[in-house]
């Protein structure tokens, strides 16, 4: 409930900021000029939204598999989709070594859930099902559409800042003032979009548990994804830099996160069991100031804090 409330408050704050900026910009450069920028940004974002799946498939080297080719994967996805009350998404395998999973699609009936080659031999079946539950929850909550919708706000502000500050108009003073304001609001709303993205990750974790997955299985899976990503060469990580927001975990932060996660893998087994997870309800965790600051600019929550939150999800009711 608190996650939903935070999301609604952030959305209300974003639109309040935009409303105030529209009033300010319209008084300086005219309402027509402002809406031209808004229309351009909206068209670009709509095109990106429509061709987005094809771009993801190409960059991740996705191959869709049949039930005969991947029966276990299909069975898990079908069961999770049924329990979530959504159509069964297409099932694919991304031919990249980075261990992870992702979901995408333009609308509910267009959903696709993919796992990478790197994850198949890393997780056991309960852990894999928990990660797939996380991805199915993203589809159920229409997260791609939500993030796309709110991303138009900083995009509009960026276009306005870029064009008005370079304007040679005779009312240059007004244009520069609007440009500076747009730049400030761009940075602020971009941080808010990232914050919403992190909330959606927490929400998808909760959704995975509501689909019948034990919190310890998702916690252990996330830990293994971080551990596996930390061993991947940096060149491989650079190739998917623009797509990491789709992943269940951010592989580019794995090197730092694996050090923090050593706090909770008490028996050094490479997994997080139910006892270790339950201890996080009372044991304090240490997240450095640097990592707290870096989290502000990330699409994913700090993994240590994310796993700690999973410790509070025992007994969460099903959908």
Backbone angles phi, psi at 38, to 5 degrees: -60, -40
Considering the four listed CATH numbers 3.40.720.10, 2.60.40.10, 3.40.50.1820, 3.30.2010.10, the one that applies to the domain covering 14-184 is 3.30.2010.10
> Which of 5-9, 28-32, 69-73 is least confident?
28-32
pLDDT at residue 92 above 90?
Answer: yes
pLDDT of res. 100? 94
End-to-end CA distance of the chain: 13
Residues 221-249 have a mean pLDDT of: 83
Per residue in 263-291, pLDDT tens?
888 888 888 888 989 988 888 888 888 88
Q: What is the mean pLDDT of the chain?
A: 85
Backbone angles phi, psi at 94, to 5 degrees: -90, 125
Active site members: 135
Q: Residue 155 in contact with residue 181, Cβ under 8 Å?
A: no
Residues 219-244 have a mean pLDDT of: 83
Q: Rounded to an integer, what distance in angstroms lies between the CA atom of residue 144 and that of residue 151?
A: 10
pLDDT of res. 32? 63
pTM over 0.75? The answer is yes
> Which of 241-245, 260-264, 270-274 is least confident?
241-245
Residue 31 pLDDT grade (very low, low, confident, very high; cuts 50, 70, 90): low
pLDDT at residue 135 above 70?
Answer: yes
Residues 185-190 have a mean pLDDT of: 90
pLDDT at residue 171 above 60?
Answer: no
Residue 168 pLDDT grade (very low, low, confident, very high; cuts 50, 70, 90): low
pLDDT of res. 319? 65
User: Which of 108-129 are b and which e, b meaning 16 or more Cβ less than 10 Å from the residue's Cβ?
Assistant: eeebbbbbbebbeebbeeebbb
Residue 170 pLDDT grade (very low, low, confident, very high; cuts 50, 70, 90): very low
């Amino acid at each position: 409930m608190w996650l939903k409330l935070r999301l609604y408050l952030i959305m209300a704050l974003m639109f309040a900021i935009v409303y105030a900026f529209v009033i300010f910009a319209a008084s300086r450069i005219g309402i027509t000029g402002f809406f031209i920028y808004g229309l351009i940004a909206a068209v670009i974002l709509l095109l990106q939204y429509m061709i987005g799946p094809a771009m993801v498939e190409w960059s991740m080297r996705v191959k869709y598999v049949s039930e005969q080719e991947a029966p276990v994967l299909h069975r898990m996805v079908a069961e999770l989709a049924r329990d979530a009350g959504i159509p069964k998404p297409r099932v694919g395998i991304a031919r990249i070594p980075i261990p992870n999973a992702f979901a995408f699609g333009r609308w509910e009936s267009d959903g696709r859930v993919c796992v990478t080659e790197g994850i198949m031999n890393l997780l056991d079946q309960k852990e894999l099902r928990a990660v797939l539950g996380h991805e199915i929850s993203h589809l159920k909550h229409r997260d791609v559409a939500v993030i796309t919708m709110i991303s138009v706000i900083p995009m509009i502000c960026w276009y306005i800042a870029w064009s008005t500050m370079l304007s040679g108009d005779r009312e240059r003073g007004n244009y520069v003032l609007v440009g500076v304001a747009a730049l400030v609001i761009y940075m602020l709303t971009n941080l808010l979009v990232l914050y919403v993205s992190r909330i959606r990750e927490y929400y998808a974790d909760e959704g995975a548990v509501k689909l019948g997955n034990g919190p310890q299985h998702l916690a252990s899976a996330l830990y293994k994804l971080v551990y596996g990503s930390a061993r991947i060469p940096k060149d491989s990580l650079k190739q998917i830099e623009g797509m990491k927001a789709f992943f269940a975990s951010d592989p580019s932060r794995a090197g730092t996160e694996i050090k923090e996660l050593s706090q909770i893998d008490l028996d050094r087994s490479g997994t997080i069991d139910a006892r270790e997870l339950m201890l996080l309800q009372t044991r304090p965790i240490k997240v450095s100031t640097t990592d707290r600051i870096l989290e502000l600019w990330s699409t994913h929550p700090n993994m240590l804090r994310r796993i700690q939150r999973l410790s509070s999800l025992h007994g969460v009711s099903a959908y």
